[in-house]
Structure 1
Amino acid sequence: MDMKNDQQAQREAQRMHANREELAWRIAQAIREDGTLQPLTGLHLSRTSVPLMRVHSVVEPSVAVIAQGSKEVLLGDNRYLYDPSRFLLTTVDLPRVSQVLEASKERPYLAVRLELAPTLVSAVMVEASRSLPRERAEVRAIDVSPVDGNLLDAFVRLVRLLDSPDEAQALMPLITREIIYRLLMGEQGARLRHLVMEGGYTPHIATVVKRLRQNFDQPLRIETLARELGMSVSSLQHHFKAVTAMSPLQFQKRLRLQEARRLMLSEALDAASAAYRVGYQDASHFNREYKSLFGVPPIRDVQRLREGALQSAGR
């Protein structure tokens, strides 16, 4: 029996190694230069040939698998490290800080990320309701877990569809449902179910997150939001932080500052104009909060980012 188990384990290890090699090769073929690409709706590919500085971004509910290299995500006081052996699951839109740690020209960082629509997660939950495990989980909207052979295999088949656009239209929804099913059956299944389950607070928090993303430049009226959701202000604050690791005010501030940074870089706005566009009335207050988040004042930060982009382009 032990020999049979050893042989099965060896075959599984060989299958996973082959799948990781194929996934890395297919991503590298699909995206030949450093950057990101969305070849199919909801499917994002990334390639980086050098370790990167920390990047501030907003990520939607999704699952990310690394084929080569490693990356870390910072949220509040927590650090989430993932690599080819671990995937990252995010269940609510989150402003986060991420950094590619391992990458080189010989072995670039290669990753795939699949968006998870709450309506589709809900549909798969209903179909698989009889077999889903019933354990409870933390409501924090992000975590890492080991990649198993079935999940990795599904991602390989998903990326293979890039060679067959006609098949992709028919098969991508099916493979996406399989991936969601694998996630629901795994150790993060309860976390994913929080995204759509009624009776819990996570759907309410997702509503607040959506509202903040749509109206981040408007004054935050937490009392109004709490009343609309039938919650007390203290309860809303508590559950929001449990899910996102931030208070609603911190969440809004992060969105505002990231958008201001984008405006200065892509639309060449000065700091005062960008501050006003994202909802700040006091430029000096904006400068202080910007430096607190990004480490340097707005003008120096934008100059540094532009110089870094020029250096990367000249490599």
Structure 2
Amino acid sequence: MSFLGRLFSRNPTVSPAEGAARPTAELGRWSTPALQATELRIEGGLATDPGCVREINEDFARIIRPTTPAALHKRGVLAVVCDGMGGHEAGEIASRLAVETIVRRFEEDELAADPVAAVPRSVQAANRAIFDAAERNHQMRGMGTTCTVLLLRDGMAYGAHVGDSRIYLIRGGDIFLMTEDHSAVMELVRRGVITRDEARHHPDKNVISRALGSHRDVQVTGWPQPFAVLPGDRFLLCTDGLYDLVDDEQLLATARDVHPQVACDRLITLAREAGGHDNISVAILVMSTPHESTSAGMRETRAIEIPQ
């Protein structure tokens, strides 16, 4: 059975991501009815950094949280992390265009009616926007981006991704990898040819098999159904510039107990101290009850001009 099949089966058993500090846990044992938006507060942190080697930051990330209770109840909270690729600054254009396309659909309430289908559709729309932009401007030909999306709405989590940017869930002292990289190396893992630990050190570990912008249509991996979030849950979205250098045990230890913005900043520092060979981006969303929460400032990456 596939990873997503195990995750969303009636009694899902999901192994913690490779290198997690605690043993295998079952998400199913925490299954509860969805909590209403008024029962959970969602706090967020976001950080992105060009790293120690590259001058241009081709990552782009945003967290969008509506400011009114009515809009929050209707739309939820959105997090998007993208890792762009392509020369002549085209990578940062692709990643920004992907994020802004998805955010626009979120703000126009297109994700609200049927999030299971609408979240992957928003990623498809981002793919088409990048592809069409490259068709109009030959200097942007070949640009692309990974894309990972998380929507939290009415106590439920919805996800979709293309490429190798990841979503982790920290719950009950364990860390779970909620996405599978779209790469030839991960396909070797799925077929049992190599282990996950061997994949971490494979020379082609960062060669992805799927990205937004490469073709007019792209296969998006969306979660087939949502699952209920619980107080204390922490979702961590990141690009490979983080998880290549900071293993899952470090992710767990750094992110599980502190304010999400503090955790994001510390993780960026860890990746830079480990070499920072790539752009680094991380977003963290934390579920808490109102009396547990603290004030949080949510950041977003800078805007850049998109050539017409």
Query: Structure 2 length normalisation: TM-score?
Result: 0.28
User: Which one has more relative contact order, counting CA pairs under 8 Å at least 6 apart?
Assistant: 2
Structure whose residues are more often helix by fraction: 1
